[in-house]
Amino acid sequence: MTYGLGWFQQDYRGQAVDFHTGSIDGMVAIHGLIRDEQLGVYVLGNLDHAELRHALMYTVFDRYAGRSDRDWSADFLKLYTDIQSEAAQARARRDGHRVAGTSPSLPVRKFAGDYVDPLHGEVRVGDDPAGLSIRYGSAFVGTLEHWHYNTFRATWKAAWRAPELVTFVLDADGQPAALEMMDARFSRKASADGGPARY
């Protein structure tokens, strides 16, 4: 499989296939083309991560070619069930490393502010009446609960997104200097007066 001109490109049973998926909170899509056959398939779903879309596309390709020798629904159900099971096991292993009885180094409101990375963008940590909130773009919005030490767990409003650990890194003065999550490091932005950015 390759990617070019805005399409995933692959060979499927000797035919060149171009396809692409789309996933937005509450909606999914897939669009697949076998151009040599002037065949196109477009599937829309109003459910997050409804991976039946792939099964429907390949089933249409097969039926158009006069084939019905593969149960794509069963194959994709097994594939995604296995992926979910592996993710649950990884979360259980991570949860097993949680250190009980610890506290953050600072009052939690001190972690609020804007954190930025030139490649990954900006993360906003809010000091809300109910506790810390977090926003990373428009898709990752949620709350932070203390996990251990200076690490918190982000629980997203989009329930299908797995929780993410967020670790605050302190500078030599004991103040928040960075935030680490999703294998990226976001540095704390300074406000116009030189202090930490708050909102």
Task: For residue 198, tell me if it sits in a domain.
Answer: no
Task: For residue 8, tell me if it sits in a domain.
Answer: yes
Are the beta carbons of 24 and 49 closer than 8 angstroms?
Answer: no
Let me know the angle formed at the C-alpha of 21 by 44 and 91, rounded to the nearest 5 degrees: 105
Q: How many CB atoms lie within 10 A of CB 125?
A: 28
The residue with tokens 């296995």 is 82
Final residue of a domain: which of 95, 126, 159? 95
**pLDDT tens for each residue of 104-143:** 999 999 999 999 999 999 999 999 988 999 999 988 999 9
Can you give the pLDDT at residue 199?
42
Q: pTM, whole model, 2 decimals?
A: 0.66
Are the beta carbons of 139 and 25 closer than 8 angstroms?
Answer: yes
Residue 9, both tokens: 């490109």
Domain that holds residue 44: 2-95
The verdict on 61 and 125 lying in the same domain is no
The verdict on 6 and 86 lying in the same domain is yes
CATH number, position 160:
2.40.128.600
Closest CA to 143 of 169, 185, 112: 112
Report d(CA 124, CA 155) in Å as an integer: 14
The residues, ordered by sequence, that sit 6+ positions from 193 with a Cβ below 8 Å of its Cβ are none
The verdict on 112 and 78 lying in the same domain is no
Task: Report the range out of 40-49, 52-61, 93-102, 153-162 with the highest average pLDDT.
Answer: 52-61
Q: Which residues of the chain form beta strands (DSSP E)?
A: 2-4, 7-12, 15-24, 27-34, 39-45, 113-117, 121-128, 131-136, 140-148, 151-156, 164-170, 176-181, 184-188
**pLDDT tens for each residue of 65-93:** 999 889 999 999 999 899 889 988 888 88
Number of folded domains in the chain? Answer: 2
Are the beta carbons of 88 and 163 closer than 8 angstroms?
Answer: no
Can you give the pLDDT at residue 196?
52
Are the beta carbons of 147 and 134 closer than 8 angstroms?
Answer: no
Can you give the pLDDT at residue 98?
87
